[in-house]
Structure 1
Amino acid sequence: MKTYPLALILPAYNEELTIEKTILEFYKEIPHAFFVIVDNNSKDNTSQISKNTLLEHSIRGEVIFEPRQGKANAIRTAFSKIDAEIYIMCDADLTYPASQIHSLLHELKEKDLDMLVGDRLSEGDYGRENKRRFHSTGNKLVLTLINFLFASKLKDPMSGYRIFSRRFVKNYPVLSSGFELEIEMTLHALDKRFRLGEVSVPYKDRPAGSFSKLNTIKDGFKVVQNILWIFKDYKPMHFFGFFSLISGILSLVAGCFPVSDYILYKYVYHVPLAVLAVGLMLFSWIQIAIGLVLHTVSKIQRTNFELSLIRYGIEASSQRQKISATSSSQRFIESEIALK
């Protein structure tokens, strides 16, 4: 598999109105990059327009077809098929400026980051341009939760404009299937302690005639679901500890009356409440036990991941040395041939 210095990945679903201009805007800025357009089972001419644009302007790249619906499925396919030193991911709807790519690349290399996110929120453009208010509310809820759980200071964990190092991409399993991809990427970077950064970028809404594929009610439910999954998967002690605390408090409240009966009358009149109090307290301790077990499992998984990351670094270094040695040998042979 050939390794490209820079690869641009554009997941696209029914983007015939914007895909050509998106490709050309990025080509104007990074003509040396390898362009990968992932047609995510589009029902319009997205795929053909992409192929024609690459061909007409002699742009290095390819169009990949991914029949499984969902942005995460498209990115998963691209990550598995394309090998590059640096990956750029961007939506194909003209909402993110290609002109900002140079500052993003500079920041990634300058600070040796594993993932750099184009922050839409700091400049205030997203609030003015975005016409879907409920999506903004969902973004804020997720942002608040992530910063609380990981003691981070992120500004836009759901941005679709990102740059990755090869180290991150080759050690990141894409487990989601749809728009939750950006949340999953951010959580993986925070949980596994990859070097993460943000750079403020302008944002503008889709051009006239182009429509978002998100559904406010359906995707709003997914946001709430994601909030619960973030708790459970990444901070199990917080998740189960919360339910344990609530159950424990309710148990004490329910148990006040039976205890009061026994103290005053040496007999329990509120038997149902006594049973309820015992059940709630048992449930509370069960939740604590589950939280402790999953916390230990999570710690073991992080330990194994760190070890695999170390092995990846050693293998990558060894591979670079082999390539360097091979190149040196070829140059030596060529010079000997030239002398003869």
Structure 2
Amino acid sequence: MSDRSIAVLIPCYNEALTIAKVVDDFHAALPQATIYVYDNNSTDDTATIAAAHGAVVHYEPRQGKGNVVRQMFRDIEADCYLMVDGDDTYPAESAPALCAPILNGTADMTVGDRLSNGTYAQENKRAGHGFGNNLVRAMIKWIYGYGFEDVMTGYRAFSRVFVKTCPVLSAGFQIETELSIHAVDRRWRIMDVPIVYRDRPEGSVSKLNTVSDGVRVIMAIASLFKNYRPLKFFSLVALILLVAGLIAGIPVILEYFSTGLVERFPTAILAVGFVFLASLAFCAGLILDTVAKSERREWELAVYREMNRETSR
């Protein structure tokens, strides 16, 4: 495996306080790797410090972590991609354990699990983050049937084929959720690797907003649910509309059987409207499910082509 190339991907925004240590630590942990730092409009010396410590520095003007990761995936060629934040919260000594399953072909994505050993709960001082992580995990488990140990971690490794066939749509911090859902929906081989987490050092400030970013993540899950599993999504919508129609319509029907009259026409029309919309939603789900299956076939063929290109390299 020593001849396999590893790219360490570090998206950065104002991480001058920690970036030198992060680059040095990953150089020590993975001497054969190339360290890439993508500066995302930092107003401090992040890029200068990273370059001085031996990182390959690029600039991404489109603000948002998702935009940075998308450009990294497009630009960089490697056999294994290790993504990590530049805030020195993830241990570089765990990098070989994350990369090994990718390099030996037993996994397509490895996930740095901060939760299993309890260090995230002990170290993380940001209120609501643990609850948000658990909520997202529960939603993905319910929708897709796969239980991640830690779905919001920014410490992951990917195979080349995964990276080159992954459509990154998110612009911001929803990227971790998107990568997780893509991996589950496309049946990639996923492996959780427990890691030790440490909170940001004093003076380093998180860019996350618990409420606004949490809402964006939940909206991203709903959007990806609609795109990846349209029949299930629209069946749920149809069920909700049908129940609403029954709630509105049953009293009208009972009244008709009792008196032979329909006196509440607005309620009857509302009930019929709900049932009609439920039928439309279910039909839309059937149509979009056919489209999604066709797109999935095209994606599978694209994966085969990418694997053949990798074999011929």
Q: Do Structure 1 and Structure 2 share a fold, with TM-score over 0.5? A: yes
- Residue in 1 that maps onto 2:278: 284
More deviation in 140-149 or 105-114? 105-114
Identify unmatched segments of 5+ residues in structure 1.
55-60, 321-340
1:176 aligns with 2:170: yes
Distance apart, 1:20 and its partner CA: 0.2
One-letter amino acid of the structure 2 residue matched with residue 43 of structure 1: T
**Any idea what SS the aligned residue of 1:214 has?**
coil
**Any idea what SS the aligned residue of 2:78 has?**
strand
1:245 aligns with 2:239: yes
- Residue in 2 that maps onto 1:10: 10
1:296 aligns with 2:296: no
- Residue in 1 that maps onto 2:260: 266
Contact 2:39-2:57 at 8 Å conserved across structures? yes
The percent identity for this pair of structures is 42
More deviation in 122-131 or 230-239? 230-239
- Residue in 1 that maps onto 2:42: 42
Task: Note the 1:25-64 alignment, pairs <5 A.
Answer: 25-54=25-54, 61-64=55-58
Contact 2:60-2:68 at 8 Å conserved across structures? yes
One-letter amino acid of the structure 2 residue matched with residue 126 of structure 1: Y
Distance apart, 1:183 and its partner CA: 0.9
Distance apart, 1:128 and its partner CA: 1.4
Q: Distance in 2 between matches of 1:53 and 1:198?
A: 30
| Gap change, CA 1:147 and 1:48, over 3 Å in 2 | same
1:186 aligns with 2:173: no
Equivalenced residue count is 311
Task: Note the 1:306-325 alignment, pairs <5 A.
Answer: 306-317=300-311, 319-320=312-313
Distance apart, 1:4 and its partner CA: 7.1
Q: Distance in 1 between matches of 2:279 and 2:223?
A: 21
- The equivalent position to 1:142 in structure 2, one of 123, 126, 136, is 136
One-letter amino acid of the structure 1 residue matched with residue 34 of structure 2: F
- The equivalent position to 1:67 in structure 2, one of 54, 61, 65, is 61
Contact 2:177-2:221 at 8 Å conserved across structures? no
Contact 1:29-1:98 at 8 Å conserved across structures? yes
Contact 2:79-2:103 at 8 Å conserved across structures? no
**Any idea what SS the aligned residue of 1:208 has?**
coil
Q: Deviations over 1:1-45 (max 9, x none)?
A: xx9711111111000000000011111111221111111110001
Q: Distance in 2 between matches of 1:10 and 1:18?
A: 12
1:254 aligns with 2:240: no
- Residue in 1 that maps onto 2:117: 123
More deviation in 234-243 or 291-300? 234-243
Q: Deviations over 1:68-100 (max 9, x none)?
A: 111111122222221111111100111000011
Q: Distance in 1 between matches of 2:50 and 2:305?
A: 38
Contact 1:86-1:166 at 8 Å conserved across structures? yes
One-letter amino acid of the structure 2 residue matched with residue 141 of structure 1: L
- Residue in 2 that maps onto 1:155: 149
Contact 1:8-1:88 at 8 Å conserved across structures? yes
Contact 1:6-1:33 at 8 Å conserved across structures? yes
**Any idea what SS the aligned residue of 1:245 has?**
helix
One-letter amino acid of the structure 2 residue matched with residue 263 of structure 1: F
Distance apart, 1:111 and its partner CA: 5.3
- The equivalent position to 1:113 in structure 2, one of 94, 100, 107, is 107
Distance apart, 1:231 and its partner CA: 2.5
Distance apart, 1:226 and its partner CA: 2.2
1:236 aligns with 2:225: no
Q: Distance in 2 between matches of 1:266 and 1:161?
A: 67
Q: Distance in 1 between matches of 2:293 and 2:32?
A: 42
**Any idea what SS the aligned residue of 1:84 has?**
coil
Contact 1:66-1:74 at 8 Å conserved across structures? yes
Distance apart, 1:222 and its partner CA: 1.0
Distance apart, 1:220 and its partner CA: 2.4
Select the structure of larger CA radius of gyration.
1
Q: Distance in 2 between matches of 1:77 and 1:227?
A: 22
Q: Distance in 2 between matches of 1:307 and 1:111?
A: 20
Q: Distance in 1 between matches of 2:274 and 2:161?
A: 47
Distance apart, 1:110 and its partner CA: 4.3
Q: Distance in 1 between matches of 2:143 and 2:46?
A: 40
Q: Deviations over 1:119-157 (max 9, x none)?
A: 111111111111122222221111111112221121112
